Chains A and B, each alone.
Chain A
Amino acid sequence: DAGVTQSPTHLIKTRGQQVTLRCSPKSGHDTVSWYQQALGQGPQFIFQYYEEEERQRGNFPDRFSGHQFPNYSSELNVNALLLGDSALYLCASSLTSYEQYFGPGTRLTVT
């Protein structure tokens, strides 16, 4: 049974560019949440998708947007990248609202 997968593993972008990160949830899961984890900190909630709609959002600017597809996979888009956006971006999937399983993350470096 495949767990949560994310692509790419690593990414280097220049300030001002745009980036798209991808996530495939664990088999049978229908909810995808995205988190940002800065170095040495705990993950911070960005937003959650359920039934192809953003169900709730954390304290992140509109530069952060997402999408969920009919097969429950999801994308995270970040526009106008800032140096401070450098972080590990984690995708978590769940079937209920509680047990969330994380993928390996995408390490984004903005130069």
Chain B
Amino acid sequence: QQQVKQSPQSLIVQKGGIPIINCAYENTAFDYFPWYQQFPGKGPALLIAIRPDVSEKKEGRFTISFNKSAKQFSLHIMDSQPGDSATYFCASSAKDGSWGKLQFGAGTQVVVTP
């Protein structure tokens, strides 16, 4: 049972473009939504995270948009650079009863061409 569905599986954008990755969740108890960036052979690195009490959060060139009623959230990478080429994972966790256990999406491979 996949509780977090992520799309697309992969995408290619030119330098300066804005890749957008979408995630949908089912469990209404989820209250923490992080995004992780993973390069080949490395562990996931925490990029940015959002709680459901806000609809948008920006950190540098990364923006999370959150739609609580639709149970969806997305990652936008502004002014993308070739160095942003990586696999991105969305995740969710619930406060009560799961102690921060992260449920991950399947990942999106992003390629930024020069």
Which A residues fall within an 8 A CB radius of B?
Answer: 4, 31, 33, 35, 40-45, 48, 50, 55-56, 58, 90, 92, 94, 96-105
Contact = CB atoms under 8 A, between A and B. Distances in A.
Contacts of B34: 98-100
B89 interface: yes
Q: How large is the interface on B (under 10, 10 to 19, 20 to 34, 35 or more residues)?
A: 20 to 34
Contacts, number: 67
Interface of B: 6, 32, 34, 36, 41-46, 49, 89, 91, 93, 95, 98-107
A58 B107 CA distance: 20
Contacts of A31: 99-100
A103 to B, nearest CB: 5
Rank and list the top 3 A-B pairs by shortest CB-CB distance, nearest first: A42-B104, A97-B100, A102-B43
